[in-house]
Amino acid sequence: MLEIKVFPSLLSADLLNMEGSINLVKDLADALHIDIMDGHFVPNLSYGPSLVKALRKKYDLPLNVHLMVEKPENFVDMFIEAGATHLGFHIEATYHPQRLIKYIRDSKVRPFITLNPATPLHTIEYLLEEIDLILLMTVNPGYGGQEFLPFCLKKIKTLREIVIRENIYLDIMVDGGIDLNTAPLVVENGANILISGNGIFKAQNPREVILKMKSLKYGRV
């Protein structure tokens, strides 16, 4: 049975009271998701390693850092030093993903690869032995609060089928437009880690949303 994990995305937290937002969810969250944007790979800016460092100092939670940057190899060191627990980059943003995975892993941080909605799974076919965590974007990255793209369900399903067929260990994360309406769909298709920004922080009862998400079961809506 797949245990469903939930990583709240701080992009939707109250920027002027991030502590308040985190305190609301910290005992239920399995990790905090932190979006790093460079204004090139995505048309937006967010924050940098100093936020990761500050969070690391204050909280015990794993920090899941999602780099939406061009040439991520130029940025990984600063996030490793800042205390990221998981560090992920986009397959579209670098030429030598295997080298970068190895570098991150050798630095004792768990690497992950992210795919944009339109990027096919075959781009990571030969990397599945090198990695145990994949993030499938379910919106085009860059902003919180966008609408979930239903065509991504097929990709989630295919990846889960590969994992079962090949009998490998792989956590499948999804990110973008995940709320109580879309969470059952992604879980039914095989995602086991749900990243959610607006779905949690803009809800009336964020804690209830997390609990409901975590109670979902793979193979049953």
Binding residues for ligand DX5, per CB under 6 A? Answer: 9, 11-12, 33, 35, 66, 139, 141-146, 175-178, 195-199
Task: Kindly list the strands in the beta sheet with 133-137, ordered across the sheet, starting from the edge strand earlier in the chain.
Answer: 5-8, 193-196, 171-175, 133-137, 110-115, 86-90, 63-68, 32-37
What is the pattern of x (binds Zn ion, CB under 5 A) and - over residues 18-57? -----------------x----------------------
Q: Smallest distance from the beta carbon of 64 to Zn ion, in angstroms?
A: 8
User: Tokens at residue 18, please?
Assistant: 């991030």
Q: Least separation, in Å, of the C-beta of 177 and ligand DX5?
A: 5
Among 42, 131, 171, 175, binds Zn ion (CB under 5 A): 175
Q: Which of 27, 35, 38, 179 is catalytic?
A: 35
Question: In terms of CB distance, is 66 or 160 closer to Zn ion?
Answer: 66
Burial of 50 from C-beta contacts in 10 A (0-12 / 13-18 / 19+): exposed
Could you give the CA distance from residue 186 to residue 100 in angstroms, rounded to a whole number?
A: 28
Angle between the 18-25 and 206-214 helix axes, to the nearest 10 degrees?
40
The option from ligand DX5, Zn ion, none interacting with 12 (CB < 5 to 8 A, set by class) reads ligand DX5
Task: Note if 175 is an active site residue.
Answer: yes
Please give the angle made by the CA atoms of 56, 92 and 41, to the nearest 5 degrees: 65
| Residue 90 binds Zn ion (CB under 5 A) | no
> Is the CB of 168 or the CB of 211 nearer to ligand DX5?
211
**CB 121 → ligand DX5: shortest distance, Å?**
19
Return the residue of 5, 66, 155, 160 that touches Zn ion, per CB under 5 A.
Answer: 66
Burial-class residue 20 by CB neighbours within 10 Å (0-12, 13-18, 19+). Answer: exposed
The closest of 14, 12, 26, 33 to 210, measured between CA atoms, is 26
Q: Which residues bind Zn ion (CB under 5 A)?
A: 35, 66, 175
Catalytic residues: 35, 175
